[in-house]
Amino acid sequence: MHNWDDLKYCLALKRYGTMSGAAQALKTNVATVSRRIHGLSDELGLQLFVKDGQKWKPTPYAENLASLAEITDAELSRIQLEGDAETGPKEVRINYDEMIRQSRLMNSVSNLFETVPSITFKLRFGSASLGFGETDIFLTTIPLEEGNLIQKRVGTLRSAVWCGSAFQDKLQSWIRLESILSLEEHHASLQEEMGQEHMMLNDGLLCADVIQRAPFAAALVEDYAIRQRGLRFLPQFPKKEHPVWAYFHATRKQDKIIHIALDWITEAFKAPQEALAIPAKTTKFGEQSLNA
């Protein structure tokens, strides 16, 4: 094998199953992934992947190469970690999804400098691969399937269905928050009660602003919704609890910086809520709002 770098393309395609998914993880394009995979197959004289519907399924040869890539990645991460401990800056990168973006953790960011002054925190909204070193910790309410990761529960979130206080007696429809799997039960209940959604958004913060100005309901994280003051939760839709998971690479298991960050995250989720959630009037919801 002339280029060991080809191994990571094999590993990415095995993990994500599609050329586009592998390309996104590797921050390249589909054509490059396809070229590197087919080039490696030709060099070895082996078929590495077969098409199975919309997915690429690894052959036993690709499975072996991907395992080798994981071992290599883990060893390189360990060596880098040892070097960083001696010479590198003390920093930690944390990525988080939409549910975490609405959580009380965001309230604690402003006093990070006082609570953990020795570490530089880099917080980013959006997905990132731990296996490919794009981030150090990923926070989510959805279990991850990426390999060689450690999972730690760091808190709990509650979600509920909300509306603007000016519209609690005259709701007309609802808003779906796109691609947020943790809210699917709320969305199913809203659709059963009110029919098809009127709008679809992928930003919970924007959604909270919209329902304060328009006669729609939406599912939001309680931490964020009660801070808006002008929102009321609809008690006929049950609240849901969601465990919050922190993921980090297994090679960082003994990393003190990772554990300092996890301690801060855990304490942030223990902080009390700023205010009580106020329920909306429900006597006229349903018949009047759906027939308005």
pLDDT (tens digit, 9 = 90+) per residue, 12-56? 898 889 999 888 888 889 999 999 999 888 888 889 999 988 899
CATH number of the domain that residue 225 is part of? 3.40.190.290
How many C-beta atoms surround the C-beta of residue 228 within 10 A? 16
| Judgement on whether residues 68 and 106 belong to the same structural domain of the protein | no
Question: Tokens standing for 48?
Answer: 């590495």
| Judgement on whether residues 12 and 98 belong to the same structural domain of the protein | no
pLDDT value of position 69: 79
| Judgement on whether residues 71 and 204 belong to the same structural domain of the protein | no
Distance, in Å, from the CA atom of 241 to the CA atom of 141, rounded to the nearest integer, reads 10
| Judgement on whether residues 47 and 98 belong to the same structural domain of the protein | no
| Judgement on whether residues 105 and 55 belong to the same structural domain of the protein | no
Asked whether residue 29 is assigned to any structural domain, the reply reads yes
| Judgement on whether residues 74 and 168 belong to the same structural domain of the protein | no
Do residues 77 and 132 touch, judged by C-beta distance below 8 A? Answer: no
Q: Which positions ≥6 away from 220 have C-beta within 8 Å? A: 102, 159, 160, 162, 177, 204, 207, 208, 231
Reading phi first (left if > 0) and then psi (alpha if -120 to 50, else beta), residue 284 is in: alpha
Residue of 132, 233, 221 whose CA lies nearest to 180: 221
pLDDT value of position 95: 96
Do residues 241 and 156 touch, judged by C-beta distance below 8 A? Answer: yes
User: How many distinct structural domains can be found in the chain?
Assistant: 2
Domain around 11: 6-86
Helices (H), 174-255: 184-194, 204-211, 222-226
- Residues in the chain predicted with pLDDT less than 70, given as ranges, are 1-3, 75-89, 273-276, 281-292
